[in-house]
Amino acid sequence: MMKIRIGWMACAMSGWVVLISSLVPGETTFFRVVSPTTTVITAFNSDGVLVWSNGTEGVTCNVQRAITQLDPSNWTDFATYMVTGVVMSSRVFDTHPPAGMVLIPAGMNIGTDPDFGAYSFTLSEFYMDRYEVTKAQWDEVYNWAITNGYSFDNEGSGKGLDHPVQRVNWYDCVKWCNARSEKEGLTPAYYINSAQSTVYKTGQTNIEDDCVNWLSGYRLPKETEWEYAARGGVSGKRFPWGGDTIDHDKANYYGYPDNPYDLGYVGYDTRYSLGDLPYTSPVGAFEAGKNGYGLYDMAGNVWEWCWDWYPGYEGAIRIDRGGSWYFAAYGARVAFRDMPSDFGFPSNADHRLGFRAVLPANL
């Protein structure tokens, strides 16, 4: 049972008010609001909604979090908001999220990426799988699906049951999301027609936006959702953990000495480059690579399918993000979009490709 413990602590710098909350058993998380004006946290509700006042309309403020309150360097941005009134509120965690998922809070992430320049995202809250879909999770839904009217191009592979599923194409993943929804009693998200009267269960159909019920069921993340979540609330950084360098303590990728931000050893991660390909790692193996929203493996391990068509290649290539065990550090950067190639054909089932799902927060 998740418990909340609330307290306020005065800070020397104007605008900081500290709130204490036990998000998980044995772990204390501190929240504060940083604003150009002296904000005051007035409530932290049992549903995870943080309320503060004394904001100035038109300015931005940051909800920040820390594990250790006394260490100034421990504070990191968690969510950023444009102040729209004297009283503001935001849900910063969920006491009972869907199994295996975390809440991605609503807000903005606006900044300048070290390699890709200026970017701007403003999104509503949603849930995302904490880990890439594992072979065990895939099998559970897949076995239900094939006895309930679904068919797939590929049955999926995995180096182990706790490794990410791979060799699944985009169509497989979309249909699997629908099956996961139906198996759990939710309305599916994907349909083969714009009237949304026929659930997508078989074949290879290049469904478009109007065939998606965006307010129901599991689905692949939009590219903007993927990158917003991958940044973990921190802006302007190269990698999901809020840093600009990478090594094999944080992600499973192929090291090259000519990448100045790659501090890892050259080649595959030797802990996982065993036996036959692929050289995936168990999901969640890189605690140091976990981001501020509690997401693992947003860099490396397997590329992750997204919903979107690749700009300029609509109807041919879908986007995948995040890098893989096979790819160099530059592919693991949060802003990197894999290059257009046949790798992104929605019919491609490769041992470097997997996925994770998102779920609307309104359910």
The DSSP result for 91-129, as a single string, is: E---SSPSTTEEEE--EEEEEEETTTEEEEEEE--EEEE
pLDDT in tens, 204-248: 999 999 999 999 999 999 999 999 999 999 999 999 999 999 999
Residue type, 218: Y
Residue 61: inside a domain, yes or no?
yes
Handedness of CA 71, 76, 81, 82 (dihedral sign): positive
Residue 252: inside a domain, yes or no?
no
Residue 219: inside a domain, yes or no?
no
Place of tokens 């470097």: 352
Residue 56: inside a domain, yes or no?
yes
CB count in 10 Å sphere of residue 285:
19
Residue 343: inside a domain, yes or no?
no
Q: Could you tell me the two tokens for 225?
A: 């959702």
Beta-ladder partners of 102: 128
pLDDT in tens, 255-311: 997 889 999 999 999 999 999 999 999 999 999 999 999 999 999 999 999 999 999
Q: Residue 70: what pLDDT?
A: 64
- Quick check: 190 and 211 in contact, CB under 8 A? yes
Residue 19: inside a domain, yes or no?
yes
Residue 59: inside a domain, yes or no?
yes
Q: Residue 14: what pLDDT?
A: 38
Count up the domains in the chain and report the number.
1
Residue 74: inside a domain, yes or no?
yes
Of all residues in the chain, what percent carry a pLDDT higher than 70?
91
- Quick check: 115 and 335 in contact, CB under 8 A? yes
Three-state DSSP class for residue 172? helix
pLDDT in tens, 117-172: 999 999 999 999 999 999 999 999 999 999 999 999 999 999 999 999 999 999 99
- Of the pLDDT bands very low, low, confident and very high (cuts 50, 70, 90), residue 45 is confident
Closest CA to 135 of 117, 162, 171, 101: 162
Distance (Å, rounded) from C-alpha 35 to C-alpha 63? 9
| Phi and psi, residue 162, nearest 5° | -95, 10
Whole domain around residue 5: which residue ranges? 1-88
Distance (Å, rounded) from C-alpha 86 to C-alpha 108? 19
Q: Measured over all CA atoms, what is the biggest interatomic distance in the chain, rounded to whole angstroms?
A: 62
